[in-house]
A and B are shown apart, each in its own frame.
Chain A
Amino acid sequence: MPELPELNPVIHGKLRLALLSLLSGVEEAEFTWLRSKTGSTDGNLGAQLLKLEEAGYVVVEKKFVQRKPQSLYRMTEAGRTALTEYVVALKQLLGGAME
């Protein structure tokens, strides 16, 4: 029987998974947009985005727009690869469960 793959723990967290999935469909997204789509709190969202940033899956650009701070998040190539691999692993696991 083939060995089942392990799921990437950085992506496995529900909010982090939601964030990477959201970012996979857009060029870049602002912090407030990610918050409104996930319904998360500022603190939790910031912490999870930091973990993704530390893993190299997202990059952040901070700037000021009309004197207000704005954080723009963008998914990196490593993040896209990690998400793709996670989905493949997930499908393999589900396939194994169905056998």
Chain B
Amino acid sequence: MTTDAEEMELRDRLKLIESMIAEGRRTTGSWGWTFVFWGVAYYVAIGWTAYDQNPWAWLITMVGAWVPCWLIIRYHHKNSSKPKPETTVGRAIFSIWSAMGVSMCMLFPGLGFSGRFNQHIFVAIVAAMLGVANGASGMILRWKAQIACAMVWWATSVAACFGGDNQCTVVFLVAIFLCQIVFGLYGMILEARARKLEAKNA
């Protein structure tokens, strides 16, 4: 039989294990900037398409954005003085977003070349895919803000099926602003706070 003091000590150990496992899992890289970056890229593509109706605008902008994005990530990974460990959670989230990117790169050129592309279908699919990626990441990380983003994307996906072209564009622009720009900046603020705390403990 254990005494009360021993029992408390054992409970402390259990809490320590849980908190440390959670601490390790929380360790993900700095990704807030990528949301802002891709949000701006979406705006560039939308602006370019609206300006001269170039059918290649989205493909060129997305590929053009992917290259510097990849280079920045690689640069940070190689030159970081305090490299963060790769976590299974981090790998799962990276896989979800990568798979989403590949799906988009496969589907949209196909739709474009076959002549079956239209604005409503495009916005509905993009919003649904971003809803899946944000929803899955949010559920893995148990991050309510990201789950809220997923809900906005899902609502956008439904809204894109109705109304006129202009309404569809406005809904898409608002969703990008909320879920990419605002959410990305929010993520960057949280990451800056975490970095400060880490520096304090180091």
Contact = CB atoms under 8 A, between A and B. Distances in A.
B85 A33 contact: yes
Contact of A30 (B21, B23, B83): B83
A18 B16 CA distance: 7
Contacts, number: 87
B20 interface: yes
Contacts of A36: 82, 198, 201-202
Contacts of A12: 13
B84 A33 contact: yes
Contacts of B88: 25-27
Contacts of B10: 90, 93-94, 97
Contacts of A28: 85-86
A29 B10 CA distance: 27
B25 A25 contact: yes
Interface stretch (B1-9, B62-70, B129-137): B1-9
Interface residues of A, number: 30
A12 B6 CA distance: 13
B24 A22 contact: yes
A24 B88 CA distance: 10
A17 interface: yes
A90 B91 CA distance: 30
A67 interface: no
A94 B7 contact: yes
Interface of A: 12, 14, 17-18, 21-30, 32-33, 35-37, 39, 65-66, 83, 87, 90-91, 93-94, 96-97
